[in-house]
Amino acid sequence: MASSDTQQRIAELTTLNALAQTLNRALDLREALDTALAHIVELMGLNTGWIFLKGDVESYILAARHNLPPAISYPGPAWENGCDCQDLCQAGKFEKAVNMVRCSRLRSAVGDKRGLAQHASVPLQSGDEVLGILNVATTQWGRISPADLQLLSAAGFLLGTAIARARLYDHVKVRRVQEQRALLSLSQELLGSEDLEPALQRLARVGARLLEADACAFVEADEAAGRAVLRAAFGWDLGKNVAWPTLLDPDSPHLWYLPERTSDLAEEALNDLPPLLARQGFQGHLGIPVELGGAPVGTLMVNTHSPRQFLDDEATLLGVLANQLAQTLERERLHQEALARQRLEQELDLAREIQASFLPDCCPVLPGYQIEAYYRAARQVGGDFYDFIELPAAPGSSSAAPRQGELVFRGGRLVSATAPTLADAPRIGIVIADVTDKGVPAALFMALSRTLLRATAIDGRQPAEVLQRANRLILADSRAGLFVTCFYAILEPGSGRLDFANGGHNYPLHYRHTSGEIEQLRAQGIVLGIVPQPQFEQNSLYLGPGDVLLFYTDGVTEMMNARRELFGDERLVEVLRANHHRSPQEIINAVLSALNIFAGGENQSDDVTMVVVKRSA
């Protein structure tokens, strides 16, 4: 059987173990001290004790108490002033681990003291710093054995360690709150910033403060120029009149030769540091790559002038800042792209207005004829165009006879001082064309082609000759590798004669009122802008009363539905057959309606252009 001393030691060790577990599990310091004090008093075989904690201004606060006698009950006058044990501790006169002190608080108290007169005082310390005092009270004649004093000293050590850990935890908590508040404030500032450079400088200042470093900088990788540029810096010595941002490394865009973290930067760098970085004299270093879409765009780093090994949690914090920096750069990139798109939209709107000025503002008004046109680009600007050209009368034709009244042709519309007749009406050149591209390149090539065609046709040349000469001019002026399909016809209103030639364009449709048949206006020819000496076939026909001509581009017949089917020539023929008796504008509307129904909401993939000519019945 174990001796009574052994059993006593086991009980003491068990109590100390329970005390240690209590202190380790506790989240609230005051609650832990109350529980621990009860264990300690019981361990010592006593009844009363209390614990002071040192405040911020060399004062002491009663943090825990256990079974106080009525004379010094708390709160009460006995605790309003200091006492001898505090003065001795403050003066550094606690020379032992446990010090016996005659209690001045008990001595001056009035009332039931339960015979208590002195206490064993244990300074609670963390290293050399005094954190508080543990007092356990005894009677005037009470004695504490050396073994109990040693036990009390061990309990005091546990309390000191627990208090230091709790204060450190509170400090970390406060720091985390401060970090989160600073990060939130930084994030809001970065979101609201309209200028990138001040935002980056602000981030560098916050980074240095949060990591308690001497300096913080963002170094951007300029891949195109093969260099590294200092975009933002705090705590760097950059001298006077330095251009900002400034060049850091002229030979390498990425600082691959720098370690991720080190306490001696110059010693552990793989290469000699760039002169500007070497001049800073940094020793402590922590660097985090800044990435956009998985690709590195630079480095965010913090530095100290004295040796310092940054910790993992500090690397995590710098990583959060690097992520905010990446988001700021991405937001700025998107902002610049939005501005560029806005400028492009404005330029395209202007281009659309300019392109619209190349198209006739209205259709010719000819006695005995109705003419309407329609144009809709797939994008802001397109490559389709149509044109009406007033031509001189052909020699020997009825149109060459003297005209009755003054005739003026403005903006494609015929205006007369007297009622015009078919004999008065000039010949009209009709052009419909399609540049084999879309968007801005097609629009520019369209302007060139339209100008050259009009310049070639204006003097009344036959259609085949017009296409030949226009082809030569386009080849001479164009370097873009684009080409244009073109159908050109000359209408003589008096006779109804239509001469035409085709440069690789869709065959227009001719509805004959007398037979009800629809035929294509076929003429052999190649697109303009490919070969130097093409041959163009020229054909002719006569429009009778009630006849209809439908000119169109491939955006009509190649309209697709969700099943990738084409609208095709046959559907267009059927629409014309069903609506030939209507006006040209109604025929165009019927074609557009059929296209919309067929496409079923699919986006228009090509420009759509139509011209309809109808001779009155």
Q: Edge to edge, what strands does the sheet with 116-126 contain?
A: 60-66, 49-54, 129-139, 116-126, 99-102
350: in domain: no
177: in domain: no
Residues 504 and 593 in one domain: yes
* Domain CATH for 276: 3.30.450.40
Residues 443 and 518 in one domain: yes
* Domain CATH for 449: 3.60.40.10
Residues 307 and 270 in one domain: yes
Tell me what the pLDDT averaged over the chain comes to: 84
Residues 168 and 204 in one domain: no
Residue 50 three-state SS: strand
> Does residue 415 carry a pLDDT above 70?
no
343: in domain: no
Q: How many CB atoms lie within 10 A of CB 31?
A: 12
181: in domain: no
183: in domain: no
pLDDT tens digits along 139-183: 877 777 787 788 888 888 888 877 777 776 666 665 665 666 666
Return the pLDDT at 567: 93
pTM above threshold 0.85: no
Residues 158 and 212 in one domain: no
Residues 155 and 206 in one domain: no
Q: What total number of domains does the chain contain?
A: 3
Residues 328 and 374 in one domain: no
112-116, 162-166, 508-512: which has the minimum mean pLDDT?
162-166
Instruction: Domain of residue 242: give its range.
Output: 193-335
Residues 201 and 245 in one domain: yes
Residues 379 and 497 in one domain: yes
Residues 208 and 293 in one domain: yes
- Distances in Å between the Cα of 137 and the Cα atoms of 51, 133, 181, 429 are 11, 13, 46, 121
Check: CB of residue 363 under 8 Å from CB of residue 339. no
198-207, 518-527, 553-562, 573-582: which has the minimum mean pLDDT?
198-207
Residues 305 and 426 in one domain: no
Q: Where are the beta strands (DSSP E) in 112-267?
A: 116-126, 129-139, 215-222, 227-234, 246-249, 261-262
- Distances in Å between the Cα of 217 and the Cα atoms of 228, 237, 461, 572 are 12, 12, 73, 67
Cα separation, 437 vs 453, in Å, equals 18
Return the pLDDT at 412: 44
Check: CB of residue 546 under 8 Å from CB of residue 585. no
348: in domain: no
Q: Tell me, what DSSP letter sits at residue 500?
A: E
